[in-house]
A and B are shown apart, each in its own frame.
Chain A
């Protein structure tokens, strides 16, 4: 078990490293001289040149990258061009907001999607199944920011029930979570449905019925666990999608999270914030995927046993010595 965790972590590290390279390279080649952006248009060329020198902006690419990485390890993500304050401070404030949004959206998607998928599978071809399928289709095809706008139109402008912006209390979460999670709900529903359908057709389900178990117990006790294991991966992917969705929806709902920070920063050419934001988002994704991998190992005994050593007992798949019968 421990070896498995270690192995997964060891694989994640190069990926994160690669991500830093990609982000750094992208930001490096973005238009705009950082020194100029910091000092503003009024500063003289001499001042800009001096700042460039002190910031190490004239060094070759590789050196700048190493400087960046050194800073990273110390927790220094750079300085906002506009406020001159550390990016890390800004991120510390905004990260929880976005993380909460993404997390709740994921949770909502699972809580709605999984049961919907199960019902859809067990009652295949029924009216309910068709209804759920149609809703799922809508969820995938509607752009989430449009859904957000429609929700605001209906629930804020027309009905006045829900607040259209900000995140000051539970009511404020409702619409953003719905619009961010819509596509995830749809995908999880579809995946659960198809996974469940496949499981129901399995031989071991037939064996369970032949034992005399009631249909309900057959599905819950034997079907569910098998069907849900593949869904874990889907949930991981949907979390990433949720982060994407949060980035866009934070604009719509004027929520002060990482996404809004990044988009505003792009417009004001405040690139360190963009860099920091993308990095943190990538980090969150990696952590969540790691967690999913671990859950997989716990849930699926076939994976667990690849990494377990039972001391002293040889795990033998061979036939026992020719058995004289009892």
Chain B
């Protein structure tokens, strides 16, 4: 079945040049997002997820950041080579982004309606009045009464501010939404509401989504496919079932193992020993090997390439290339 890909990322490498050395934030990741598909990008803080998202939007602060190599293809446009003008056209219209902290994502001195209308007027040539109407509609769509068009961000709660951000992101019906931890800063009950909103809107408009999160529960609710990121690389990717039922990579296994479970009776959680490596000082070979319980000597020497364990399920681990005592997908 040929999947129509909205976004194709191949071997993307993004580095930051700082006084303390080169920070290798993203080290060769590749993934695709199909039409109407939601890909969850999972990883701990510092794994490079936000940098990836910014990279797609070409919003990586430059200096000190830079897309070193790789390609990002949106439809038939190569984003890494697109002109600034073309990128401005794409941002907000073809690809939108929802950021993590709703409290600071909105301009405090600008009316909420104006902020939505702004993106509408920018990409669709409509009059001010029509833009306002569209903004009002968008507010209703995200569950905010349209009369609140003329209010300021500080008059809304966190969850509602995030809804406004969602409204801005969807106003021009983009093909792809990148949501960077959209619910992390919200209370748990509000999280559920906002997620449901996002899911419904995604279904309604058929938008593809790149959902960045560290919360496996959220992923299970919303995503079709998952990619696990560690130290700037995607160590495992596949469908929801592949990742949750047939967990393969030692890191992914560790992530699931650290979750408290209502079903299993266990006295202690099983954390993954050690810490995420410093991106300015990555270990040789496989970046996970210092913390990996299944590592062998080979792992410090060679970087694993991706092995397709089952169709669509890719794992980057030497075990699956035959080293360290061959492994296979579990479960």
Contact = CB atoms under 8 A, between A and B. Distances in A.
Contact of B155 (A202, A203, A213, A317): A317
A173 to B, nearest CB: 35
Contact of B109 (A203, A208, A301, A326): A301
B157 A213 contact: no
Interface in A285-321: 299-302, 305, 313, 315, 317-320
B122 A319 contact: no
Contact of A229 (B101, B105, B109, B142): B109
A247 B245 CA distance: 81
Residue among A204, A222, A299, A313 with most chain B CB within 10 A: A204
B107 A226 contact: yes
Nearest to B144: A320
Interface string B4-16: 0000000000000
B156 interface: yes
Interface in B75-133: 87-93, 96-97, 99, 101, 104-110, 118-119, 122-123
B57 interface: yes
A225 interface: yes
B17 interface: no
A52 interface: no
Contact of B92 (A210, A299, A318): A210
A212 B119 CA distance: 8
Contacts of A322: 193
A207 to B, nearest CB: 5
Interface residues of B, number: 47
A59 B237 CA distance: 93
A41 interface: no
A323 interface: yes
A30 interface: no
A211 B204 contact: no
Of A210, A222, A229, the most chain B CB neighbours within 10 A belong to A210
Contacts of A318: 157
B99 A212 contact: no
A319 B99 contact: no
B295 interface: no
Interface in B127-162: 140-145, 147, 152, 154-157, 159-160
- A interface residue count range (under 10 / 10 to 19 / 20 to 34 / 35 or more): 20 to 34
B152 A211 contact: no
Interface SS of chain B: helix
B92 A203 contact: no
Nearest to A320: B143
B29 interface: no
Contacts of A313: 147
Nearest to B90: A212
A226 B140 CA distance: 28
B99 to A, nearest CB: 6
B177 to A, nearest CB: 11
Contact of A301 (B119, B144, B152, B165): B152
Nearest to B165: A207
B157 A317 contact: yes
Contacts of A212: 87-93, 119, 122-123
Interface string A150-166: 00000000000000000
Contacts of B109: 225-226, 229, 299-301
A206 interface: yes
A214 interface: yes
Contacts of B152: 301-302, 305
A48 B96 CA distance: 86
B154 A305 contact: yes
Nearest to B122: A212
B258 interface: no
A325 B197 contact: yes
B140 A207 contact: no
A209 interface: yes
B190 interface: yes
B97 A210 contact: yes
B196 interface: yes
B168 interface: yes
A315 B147 CA distance: 12
Nearest to A201: B61
Contacts of B156: 317
A210 B196 contact: no
B91 A319 contact: no
A203 B99 contact: yes
Given A210-B91, A315-B155, A202 B119 contact: no
19 contacts: A207-B107, A210-B57, A212-B91, A212-B93, A222-B110, A229-B109, A299-B109, A300-B109, A302-B108, A302-B152, A302-B154, A305-B155, A317-B157, A319-B160, A320-B145, A323-B193, A325-B201, A326-B143, A326-B201
The 6 closest A-B pairs by CB, nearest first: A323-B143, A212-B91, A212-B92, A325-B200, A203-B104, A211-B92
Given A207-B168, A209-B59, A323-B193, 12 more contacts: A203-B99, A204-B105, A206-B59, A207-B99, A212-B87, A212-B93, A226-B108, A301-B109, A318-B157, A319-B193, A325-B196, A326-B201
Interface of A: 202-204, 206-214, 222, 225-226, 229, 299-302, 305, 313, 315, 317-320, 322-323, 325-326
